[in-house]
């Protein structure tokens, strides 16, 4: 087997009396789509946040491409080409769609204006943003200059997904990227994920939507009570098996538990 892109072991995170991650392991391999499934509150968001530096774990070790990392902020992760779609989206409500899409990597005008006066090329950013939304089938966004807070729930999620997909170079974490999306828009996101995978960029997908998971995932990480319960191959198990494992209705066979 190839070397994992991400390898985390023994991660622990506690908040006062509440345990969010309980000695969990995690692996992501090159070029795969890894789905993470589990009950609400199982700790899925917590573990991916620990991987990308959005929370700092109390214990445990994280290796990225074999090198130990100690991210103190998601910016460190981003600088390595890791993009994240957070469950709460992490958009700046009062800024426009284009501004949100480009935070931290704005396009500047050509020539003097851009070089010395550092002027932004707003038309270029707006055109790009509109293109990306259209790719996602979000045809209801009437003005690309709308502040994000005036968008509908699904439109917002579309902005976050488009941003991550456009800029990732190492891997992407998507925390329930289709939760608020409609049928058509969800389909586009799944296509987009396949495209990204085809570009050789692995994806971590957290989702409660079993048909989606079984459609796109190469491997499924089942999370339960703060730790990885098992990893399954979607070709070997059915959706109802996966659901049974994650809700505690069935014990997974010993050979796949981790």
Ligand X SMILES: Nc1ncnc2c1ncn2[C@@H]1O[C@H](COP(=O)(O)OP(=O)(O)OP(=O)(O)O)[C@@H](O)[C@H]1O
Q: Which residues bind another protein (CB under 8 A)?
A: 14-17, 19, 22, 41, 54, 73-75, 78, 84, 86, 89-95, 99-100, 103-106, 108, 117-120, 134, 137, 139-142, 163, 183-184, 187, 190, 210-211, 214-216, 225-226, 234, 238-240, 242-244, 247-250
How far is the C-alpha of 189 from the C-alpha of 135, rounded, in Å?
9
User: Counting contacts by CB under 6 A, is residue 257 touching ligand X?
Assistant: no
User: Counting contacts by CB under 6 A, is residue 186 touching ligand X?
Assistant: no
Q: What is the arrangement of strands in the sheet containing 6-15, beginning at the earlier edge strand?
A: 18-28, 6-15, 59-64, 67-68
Please report which helix (H) or strand (E) contains residue 174, including its range. strand 171-175
User: Counting contacts by CB under 8 A, is residue 10 touching a copy of itself?
Assistant: no
Is the CB of 100 or the CB of 155 nearer to a copy of itself?
Answer: 155
Is the CB of 10 or the CB of 31 nearer to ligand X?
Answer: 10
74, 108, 162, 172, 240 from 48: Cα distances, Å? 11, 32, 19, 11, 25
Angle at 15 between CA 18 and CA 24, to 5 degrees: 75
143, 182, 219 from 140: Cα distances, Å? 9, 12, 34
Q: What are phi and psi of 11, to 5 degrees?
A: -75, 135
How far is the C-alpha of 80 from the C-alpha of 68, rounded, in Å?
13
Taking each helix axis from N to C end, the angle separating 153-167 and 183-198, rounded to the nearest 10 degrees, works out to 10
Which residue from 195, 198, 187 is spatially nearest to 137, judged by alpha carbons? 187
Is the CB of 118 or the CB of 184 nearer to a copy of itself?
Answer: 184
How far is the C-alpha of 177 from the C-alpha of 209, rounded, in Å?
10
Q: Are 61 and 70 in contact (CB under 8 A)?
A: no
- The runs of H, that is alpha helices, within 90-234 are 97-102, 111-115, 122-135, 153-167, 183-198, 210-216
In whole angstroms, the minimum distance from the beta carbon of 243 to a copy of itself comes to 5
User: Counting contacts by CB under 8 A, is residue 90 touching a copy of itself?
Assistant: no
User: Counting contacts by CB under 8 A, is residue 162 touching a copy of itself?
Assistant: no
In whole angstroms, the minimum distance from the beta carbon of 122 to Mg ion comes to 28
Residues forming the site for Mg ion (CB under 5 A): 45, 87, 152-153
- Residue of the chain from 1, 2, 40, 183 that contacts ligand X (CB under 6 A): 40
Task: State the binding partner of 115 from Mg ion, another protein, ligand X, none, CB within 5 to 8 A by kind.
Answer: none
| Segment interacting with a copy of itself (CB under 8 A) among 51-59, 97-105, 112-120, 182-190 | 182-190
User: Counting contacts by CB under 6 A, is residue 44 touching ligand X?
Assistant: yes
Residues in 188-227 that interact with a copy of itself by CB under 8 A: 208, 210, 225
Which residues in this chain contact a copy of itself in the complex, by CB under 8 A? Answer: 15, 17-19, 38-42, 44-46, 87-88, 138-143, 146, 150-155, 157-158, 176, 179-186, 208, 210, 225, 243, 246-247
């Amino acid at each position: 087997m190839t070397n994992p892109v991400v390898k985390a072991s023994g991660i622990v995170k506690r908040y006062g009396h509440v345990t969010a991650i309980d000695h969990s392991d995690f692996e992501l391999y090159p070029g795969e789509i890894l789905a993470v499934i589990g009950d609400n509150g199982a700790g899925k968001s917590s573990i991916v946040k620990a991987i990308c530096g959005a929370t700092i774990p109390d214990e445990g070790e994280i290796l990225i491409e074999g090198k130990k990392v100690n991210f103190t902020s998601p910016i460190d992760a981003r600088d390595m080409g890791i993009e994240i779609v957070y469950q709460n989206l992490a958009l700046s409500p009062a800024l426009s769609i284009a501004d949100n899409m480009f935070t931290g990597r704005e396009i500047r005008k050509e020539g003097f204006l851009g070089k010395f006066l550092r002027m932004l090329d707003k038309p270029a950013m707006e055109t790009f943003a509109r293109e990306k939304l259209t790719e996602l089938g979000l045809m209801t966004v009437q003005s690309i200059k709308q502040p994000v807070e005036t968008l509908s729930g699904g439109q917002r999620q579309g902005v976050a997904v488009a941003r991550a997909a456009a800029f990732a170079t190492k891997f992407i974490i998507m925390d329930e990227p289709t939760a608020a999306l409609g049928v058509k828009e969800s389909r586009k996101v799944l296509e987009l994920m396949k495209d990204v995978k085809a570009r050789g960029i692995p994806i971590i997908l957290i989702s409660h939507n079993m048909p989606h998971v079984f459609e796109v995932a190469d491997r499924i990480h089942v999370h339960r009570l703060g730790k990885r319960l098992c990893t399954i191959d979607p070709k070997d198990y059915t959706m109802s098996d996966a659901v049974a494992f994650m809700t505690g209705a069935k014990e997974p066979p010993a050979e796949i538990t981790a």
